[in-house]
Amino acid sequence: MHTKSDITNDETAAQEMITTTLSKSVKKYLTPDCAVLFSGGVDSSLIAALAARYVPDITLITIGFPGSNDVKWAPDAAQLLGVENSLILKMIDLDDVESTIPCVMEALETADPMTISLGVPLYIACTKAKSRNTDLLLAGQGADELFGGYHRYKEIAKEGASALHEAIAADVARLPRRDILRDNTVAEAAGIKLVAPFLDPAVVELALSIPAELKVREFGGELVGKYILRKAAENVVPAGIAWREKKAFQYGSGVWAAFGRLARQAGFKKQDKGYIRKYLYSVAKENRIKLDVTS
């Protein structure tokens, strides 16, 4: 059994610690009626695979437009994991997005396009979970920050391990007042408790103790984000899942593109700067939604 003091640059020790600690976190949060927010990416697949060890028929929920990345890939990923019979695929359309935007804006009190575009697919997923009598949804939130998954980390890594570690630590410190607050507020508005096993204190402590050079490093001739998490995942999920690059929720589900279409349908022109934000303000005005003046 490895301990954190073994990790320095020992990939094997780091992999073992990640798998063991994350598994304990997932197990701790499981309930008889919980589900996993599933995209087929390495983060949600790891959670799904670990959860299935304890709840073999655990429900996986995927939402997106027909033909979107998540909708196309999630069934294949679920099959690779051997849990295809547990997958609930919720196809959405423009009307779903349009009707959900006011709910999310009211909950978050903002018209910020990126914030709302992240909240909309989560809200739809939560309502789908609620309709199936699910009380808790497990999500892969936090993995990108903890393990260097964002594209910009690759650029920062070129400045050295110290710069990368500082950037990751700063982003992790911002999570509670930004991403966690946003997602928990949206889930609560839909009547669901959202839990992120990656953000369990033990997992966070472990991740921050892992050297930055194990998070973003060259592999297969290119810089790869979440390197050590992907290596750990190879021990739990098929390599095709562990090393697959995935788009963010609002892009993978097709929701961001839908925002643009709705804005144009409402008469806002794409060439006008901030046209989606202007559209969202018009939605707030039409629905008499009170917004935070700082948003």
**Domains of the chain listed by start with CATH number:** 4-286 (3.40.50.620)
Tokens of 17: 């610690």
| Per-chain mean pLDDT for the chain | 93
Cα separation, 159 vs 46, in Å, equals 30
CA of 109: how far to CAs of 46, 102, 259, 292, in Å? 33, 10, 18, 5
Cα separation, 55 vs 19, in Å, equals 17
pTM of the model: 0.92
Whether 98 shows a pLDDT value over 90: the answer reads: yes
- Predicted pLDDT of residue 18: 98
32 burial type by CB count under 10 A (0-12 exposed, 13-18 middle, 19+ buried): exposed
- Predicted pLDDT of residue 292: 83
Helix and strand totals (H; E) in the chain: 15, 7
- Predicted pLDDT of residue 183: 96
Pick the closest to residue 216 from 153, 279, 123 (CA basis).
153
Q: How many residues does the chain have?
A: 295
- Predicted pLDDT of residue 295: 56
